[in-house]
Chain A
């Protein structure tokens, strides 16, 4: 174990023919954001993408949103659209990386690494195409000067990526569960092959749980609970009135007709969760086409803000709802909190727990648990152990 290595460990206790206990241990550094105190808001938003590996765009923009709320800044609609675009780029690339890197191992195939190489540079290129000075997360708004040629190239690359993932157009499978099933059976592409394996093995409903899907705006008591969280217990094990929400592509895309139909047919099991990520890629690409038409230049907010206040910033990171809360005193941060989606999805009593508790103790239980972990998509490594009584 090295400094800053953190992860999740899942232990399944089997008694007789079923899982009778599920323990989820986390060594994630959920309190580390406390050390962001004593910096200025601009320093914090500059350092956030450097210290959070997988979702640096969402982290910095959630931080930026918290600062703006605290300092009562109101960035222009142009900045809001540009930030939305950047979040979509990160979400699509994160989903694609997970599919190409992690899904093949679930069907005994080698990872599809070549298409992954250009993904992270795409996020960097998108920021440069919108904010050439690199101030895309500046509270109040950086200098937004759009390089339309670079944006067209970005969208072309992302469309090619989607065509590779889907081996065709989303229109082939997005209509209804039967179209999805037919597409999966053709098995052209890793996403189709994994979904087909899940269907063939009768696992479409595996991992289903009573749905507690996160609302788009987050839990109603989010800000209060964060403000009262002196111990740090809430950011480690969040809940809302005792309920632990699931927050990811499934919660965001559950109203899409295909996902609603899959939930109706199989519950919130493996198939609905995996497919929600595919649907979200298609939704994002469509939305980015629209946004690209409307994006326009906007000046940098020149003011240096030295005010005081408390603020909450909430963004949809690829893996779910990401919340930052800040308290600022005369231009200096004196308290900083982050609540990440993995704390909901891998809560000791959350969707992973509910999805595995009571599962049949089949010979491939460990693989099934890994499949559910992959469907819930943690942002750190996750091990699974099965213990028999």
Chain B
């Protein structure tokens, strides 16, 4: 399923963000984002993870991450 994993931006360099989620770090392009983002913001990634698709408010990210942690703990992911 196309789960949206809120990923925390930990660095930005020339339109490419380094993001972290559940201990994994990857890079993703910010070229498709309509919103300005900064280190400390959360984004969700599009299919394949090459592009950040949307900025996510911190409280929404926290709710989604809590659910996804349950999924991870259950062995469904």
In the complex, A34 has a CB within 8 A of chain B = yes
A53 touches B33 (CB 8 A): no
Tell me the chain A residues, 17-45 only, with Cβ under 8 Å from chain B.
28-36
Task: Classify chain A: how many residues form its interface, as a range.
Answer: 35 or more
B1 to chain A, nearest CB (A): 4
B14 to chain A, nearest CB (A): 15
B2 touches A50 (CB 8 A): no
Q: Mark A149-169, 1 if CB is under 8 A from B, else 0.
A: 000000000000000000000
Q: Mark B45-77, 1 if CB is under 8 A from A, else 0.
A: 111110101101000110110011011101011
B21 touches A32 (CB 8 A): no
In the complex, B5 has a CB within 8 A of chain A = yes
B20 to chain A, nearest CB (A): 10
Known interface pairs A29-B71, A29-B77, A117-B32; A3-B2 also in contact (CB < 8 Å): no
Query: Which B residues are CB-close (under 8 A) to A116?
Result: 32
Among B22, B31, B33, B67, the residue within 8 A (CB) of A2 is B22
In the complex, A113 has a CB within 8 A of chain B = yes
B37 to chain A, nearest CB (A): 12
Tally of contact residues, B, Cβ under 8 A: 37
A120 touches B53 (CB 8 A): yes
In the complex, B13 has a CB within 8 A of chain A = no
Which of these binds chain B: A4-12, A278-286, A297-305?
A4-12
Docked Cα-Cα span, A59 to B63, in Å, equals 17
A379 touches B67 (CB 8 A): no
B33 touches A117 (CB 8 A): yes
Looking at A31, A33, A36, which has the most chain B CB atoms within 10 Å of its CB? A31
Docked Cα-Cα span, A53 to B68, in Å, equals 13
A58 to chain B, nearest CB (A): 11
A35 touches B1 (CB 8 A): no
Looking at A4, A46, A121, which has the most chain B CB atoms within 10 Å of its CB? A4
- Nearest to B26 among chain A residues (CB) is A2
Known interface pairs A2-B21, A53-B4, A53-B45; A120-B34 also in contact (CB < 8 Å): yes
Residues of chain B having any CB pair with chain A under 8 Å: 1-6, 21-22, 24, 26, 31-35, 44-49, 51, 53-54, 56, 60-61, 63-64, 67-68, 70-72, 74, 76-77
Residues of chain A having any CB pair with chain B under 8 Å: 2-7, 28-36, 46-47, 50-56, 101, 113, 116-121, 338, 340, 342, 378-381
Beyond the given pairs A50-B63, A121-B35, A379-B47, 17 more chain A to chain B contacts, judged by CB atoms under 8 angstroms and listed by A's residue number, are: A3-B24, A3-B68, A6-B2, A28-B2, A29-B1, A29-B77, A50-B56, A51-B4, A51-B67, A53-B3, A116-B32, A118-B34, A120-B34, A120-B53, A340-B1, A340-B2, A342-B2
> What are the nearest 3 A-B pairs in CB distance?
A53-B4, A381-B48, A2-B24
